[in-house]
Amino acid sequence: MRAVVCDRYGPPDVLRVEDVERPRPAADEVLIRVHATTVTRSDCGLRGGRPAVGRLVTGLRRPRHRILGSEVAGEVVEAGSAVTEFAVGDEVFGANPWRLGAHAEYMCVRQSAPLALKPRGMPFKEAAAVSDGVMLAMMGLRPAKVRKGTAILVYGASGSIGTAAVQLSAYFHADVTAVCDTRHVPLLEELGARAVIDYTKDDFTENGRTYDVIFDAVGKHSFRRCRGSLNPGGMYVATDGLANLILTLSTRFAGKRVLFPIPPDYRKQDVLLLKQLIEGGHHRAVVDRRYPLEAAAEATRYVETGQKTGNVVLTAR
């Protein structure tokens, strides 16, 4: 089978497509014929070996997993002897966190992973681009107790995590403010934001408005800059930056807190909820660009510009 292989840390050019042996499913695994996957910010970090301390987990000298990619949408072509949840021919979507392997024509996934039957009528190219952002968003929204009446601001709202956080918060009937650049204002209004701030024209930290939750979906802000925009007892939710781990502990008993959900907690229940939301018309995929598997390096370079809207998809067929 064809796969995008990463044998060493480095720039996107270290990625190459080659023929590798097709995996065989263990008793508790399904073999999925991959139709589509994504290139995420996490994939870029893993390939580049960033942050350096992360290599204690991902591999000191070279990536522990040669084939990256977590999100997947595809068809089950083989099921292990202990698999009861899925059958050959099932169309599935979800993620394979920690084990990866989606940047290939075939991959094995445990049935206990955050994997579910694909939403009815949803194309593979869209189904591949929804689960990772939603699960990462839920890791912040859940402990922040975002619900009806919560005033939440999502910074970096046009990315994968941001578009998911806006849609989920709107579904929970929160009062959502999205922060993005000019070209994305209409999109965020469509996704359910009650107010949209164009950061090229207005700095939300200086306009006098305050929020119960500030969700930094791109890791480009800081608690120090946002603290004045939080209501008493408010929470700054970070998605990047190890310094936020220290702040999570140091602000634990303060009036305003930092939340940095680490390690990530990927849950099957979130993918099952997502399936229901999509089929009920409450959530949609946001796809910026699509590339064939052979153009994985090009897709990665685009993701690393930091300018993508929603998700970047790789198609394996």
Q: What is the pLDDT of residues 58-94, one digit of tens each?
A: 788 888 899 999 999 999 999 999 999 999 999 999 9
Domain contains 89: yes
Of 211, 243, 259, which residue is a domain's last?
A: 259
Domain contains 278: no
Residue 211 β-bridge partners: 230
pLDDT given at position 118: 98
pLDDT given at position 188: 98
Domain contains 294: yes
Q: What is the mean pLDDT of residues 105-120?
A: 98
Residue 177 β-bridge partners: 153, 195
* Claim to verify: residue 149 and residue 69 sit in the same structural domain: no
- Greater confidence (224 vs 110) lies with 110
Q: What is the mean pLDDT of residues 101-125?
A: 98
Handedness of CA 171, 172, 174, 180 (dihedral sign): negative
pLDDT given at position 51: 79
Q: How do residues 136-149 score in pLDDT, each as one tens digit?
A: 999 999 999 999 99
* Claim to verify: residue 185 and residue 140 sit in the same structural domain: yes
Number of structural domains the chain divides into: 2
Q: What is the CATH number of the domain that holds 99?
A: 3.90.180.10
CA 161 to chain centre: 5
Domain contains 272: no
How many Cβ atoms sit within 10 Å of the Cβ of residue 146?
Answer: 27
pLDDT given at position 249: 61
Q: With left for phi above 0 and alpha for psi between -120 and 50, is residue 75 left, alpha or beta? A: beta
* Claim to verify: residue 162 and residue 248 sit in the same structural domain: yes
Domain contains 107: yes
Give the global pTM: 0.93
CA 218 to chain centre: 11
* Claim to verify: residue 153 and residue 189 sit in the same structural domain: yes
pLDDT at 18 over 60: yes
* Claim to verify: residue 23 and residue 121 sit in the same structural domain: yes
Distances from the Cα of 62 to the Cα of 6, 58, 122, 192, angstroms: 9, 8, 37, 42
* Claim to verify: residue 181 and residue 244 sit in the same structural domain: yes
Domain contains 271: no
Domain contains 180: yes
Q: How do residues 265-309 score in pLDDT, each as one tens digit?
A: 899 999 999 999 999 999 999 999 999 999 999 999 999 998 899
> Quick check: 136 and 314 in contact, CB under 8 A?
no
pLDDT given at position 198: 97
* Claim to verify: residue 18 and residue 125 sit in the same structural domain: yes
* Claim to verify: residue 91 and residue 137 sit in the same structural domain: no
* Claim to verify: residue 66 and residue 111 sit in the same structural domain: yes
Q: Which residue segment(s) compose the domain that 102 sits in?
A: 2-130+285-315
* Claim to verify: residue 114 and residue 145 sit in the same structural domain: no
* Claim to verify: residue 55 and residue 165 sit in the same structural domain: no
pLDDT given at position 252: 61
* Claim to verify: residue 224 and residue 169 sit in the same structural domain: yes
- Greater confidence (60 vs 235) lies with 235
User: What's the whole-number average pLDDT of the chain?
Assistant: 94
Q: How do residues 164-208 score in pLDDT, each as one tens digit?
A: 999 999 999 999 999 999 999 999 999 999 999 999 999 999 999
Domain contains 172: yes
pLDDT at 57 over 90: no
pLDDT at 253 over 60: no
Q: What is the CATH number of the domain that holds 200?
A: 3.40.50.720
